Amino acid sequence: MVAMAGETPTGQDAAAAGTANGPLSGKVCLVMGVANEWSIAWNIAKAMAGAGATLAVTVLDERAKRTTDKLAETLPGTTVYQCNVESDEEMAALGERLTADHGRVDALVHSIAYAPANELKGRFIDTTREGFQVAHAISVYSLISSARLVMPLMAGGGSITTLAYLGADRVFPQYNVMGVAKAALEATVRYLAADLGEQKIRVNAISAGPVATASARGIPGFSTMKGSLGDRMPMKESFTPAKVGSTAVFLASDGADAITGETIFVDGGYHVMGM
């Protein structure tokens, strides 16, 4: 079985493990999409703090802000901003706050996705125009707008990483329009990588294995999907949310500075299996 989200170290542990000469020391990392302690974004934030980064994180609404403000107390120096990626005004305000508070961003992690619940059940052929548009606006377009937002703050180059899923390549019943959005997200990564290479900004995706988060639990059949994937992984014990964090650290580090336009699978090898 794959590990549960709670098996990663606490924020305190991760921060304590952080070192002044870690791979991200001296870097400002912006992690978008923390909802709670189970969020992949929070796992990545902890790993980045442990690697020496100064952190800024974003949340969708006031409820998530209250939760994340508490989490952030375990990672001293972390700033928490509220930003709905559907709002141009809130995105512009985020850019201004980042400029004022940090002056620059070295790495962006985009860990945001949404599709209306009625699109994540039944048949894909019944996808509504509105559901399709909402899923793509929040889960894909927001990567483009977020990249545009941090571009001026990455004067010396930088790294952008988003979160993909195997549902981009293969059919997972009921993942439906989100699978199509993830395929668009991976293509967006390649187009952005081509645009931003000259500015030394790299753009990559991590295709993560199943993690029991609030969003994932909203997908009917997620636990069956998680169980069957876990059983088929060649490296069964190796996949934990913390491994998504350590890969995000690597992609944000100078050691990854020749990697761009890639989708890197962090799923214990599940994606290579035929059956």
As annotated, the active-site residues are 165, 175
Least distance in Å: CB of 70 to ligand NAD? 15
Least distance in Å: CB of 86 to ligand NAD? 5
> Token pair for residue 216?
């994932």
Size of the site for ligand NAD (CB under 6 A): 25
Amino acid at 109: V
Give the pairing of strands 107-110 and 158-164: parallel
Least distance in Å: CB of 88 to ligand NAD? 12
Buried b / exposed e across 111-147, counting CB within 10 Å, b at 16+?
A: bbbbbeeebbeeeeeebeeebbebbbebbbbbbeebb
* Alpha-carbon gap, residue 134 to 271, rounded angstroms: 28
CB 8 within 8 A of CB 71: no
* Alpha-carbon gap, residue 268 to 265, rounded angstroms: 8
Q: Does 84 bind ligand NAD (CB under 6 A)?
A: yes
Q: Binding residue for ligand NAD (CB under 6 A) from 34, 48, 98, 180?
A: 34
CB 67 within 8 A of CB 35: yes
Three-state SS at 221: coil
Q: Does 163 bind ligand NAD (CB under 6 A)?
A: yes
Q: Which stretch binds ligand NAD (CB under 6 A): 13-21, 37-45, 144-152, 249-257?
A: 37-45
> Token pair for residue 173?
């019943």
Q: Does 86 bind ligand NAD (CB under 6 A)?
A: yes
Q: Does 147 bind ligand NAD (CB under 6 A)?
A: no
- Please, which residue, 26 or 116, has the CB nearer to ligand NAD? 116
Backbone torsions φ then ψ of 42, nearest 5 degrees: -70, -40
Q: Does 35 bind ligand NAD (CB under 6 A)?
A: yes
Q: Does 270 bind ligand NAD (CB under 6 A)?
A: no
Q: Binding residue for ligand NAD (CB under 6 A) from 138, 201, 203, 248?
A: 138
Strand pairing partners for 31?
57, 109
Residues 94-133 interacting with ligand NAD (rule: CB under 6 A): 111-114
- Please, which residue, 32 or 201, has the CB nearer to ligand NAD? 32
* Alpha-carbon gap, residue 2 to 209, rounded angstroms: 9
Residues 179-238 interacting with ligand NAD (rule: CB under 6 A): 208, 210-211, 213-216
Q: Does 242 bind ligand NAD (CB under 6 A)?
A: no
| Residues contributing to the site for ligand NAD (CB under 6 A) | 33-35, 39-41, 60, 64, 84-86, 111-114, 138, 163, 165, 208, 210-211, 213-216
